[in-house]
Amino acid sequence: MSPRRSAAEARDTRSAILDRSVAIASTEGLEGLTIGRLATELGMSKSGVLGHFGSKEALQLAVLDRAGEIFRAEVWTPVVSVTPGLARLRAVCETWISYLERAVFPGGCFFVAAAHEFDGRPGPVRDAVEGRFDAWRGRLLKETRRAVEAGDLPAGTDPGQLVFELMGLLMALNHTLQLHHDPNAAGHARRAVRTRLAAHPPAARPQPAMK
User: pLDDT tens for residues 166-207?
Assistant: 999 999 999 999 999 999 999 999 999 999 999 755 444 445
Binned at pLDDT 50, 70 and 90, residue 209 comes out as low
CB 131 within 8 A of CB 118: no
Residue 145, in any domain of the structure:
yes
**Domain tally for the chain?**
1
Mean pLDDT for the stretch of residues 124-129? 98
- Over residues 6-26, the pLDDT tens digits come to 778 888 999 999 999 999 999
Pick from 36, 32, 71: which is nearest to 50 by CA? 36
User: Which domain range does residue 34 map to?
Assistant: 3-196
Residue 211 lies in a domain: no
Is residue 117 over pLDDT 70?
yes
**pLDDT 10s digits, 134-148:** 999 999 999 999 999
| Length of the chain as a residue count | 211
CB atoms within 10 A of CB 206: 6
Q: Is residue 210 part of a domain?
A: no
| pLDDT computed for residue 59 by the predictor | 95
For 152-169, what is each residue's pLDDT tens digit?
Answer: 999 899 999 999 999 999
75: in domain: yes
Q: Tell me how many degrees the CA angle 49-16-31 measures, rounded to the nearest 5.
A: 60
**CATH code for the domain of 126:** 1.10.357.10
How confident is residue 208, by pLDDT bands cut at 50, 70 and 90? low
pLDDT band at 5 (very low <50, low <70, confident <90, very high): low
Query: Residue 207: inside a domain, yes or no?
Result: no
Q: Does residue 203 lie in a domain region?
A: no
- Tell me, what's the pLDDT at 6? 77
Instruction: Give the 3-state DSSP-derived string for the chain, with helices as H, strands as E and coil as C.
Output: CCHHHHHHHHHHHHHHHHHHHHHHHHHHCHHHCCHHHHHHHHCCCHHHHHCCCCCHHHHHHHHHHHHHHHHHHHHHHHHCCCCCCHHHHHHHHHHHHHHHHCCCCCCCCHHHHHHHHHCCCCCHHHHHHHHHHHHHHHHHHHHHHHHHHCCCCCCCCCHHHHHHHHHHHHHHHHHHHHHHCCCCHHHHHHHHHHHHCCCCCCCCCCCCCCC
Question: Does some domain include residue 14?
Answer: yes
Query: Is 64 inside a domain boundary?
Result: yes
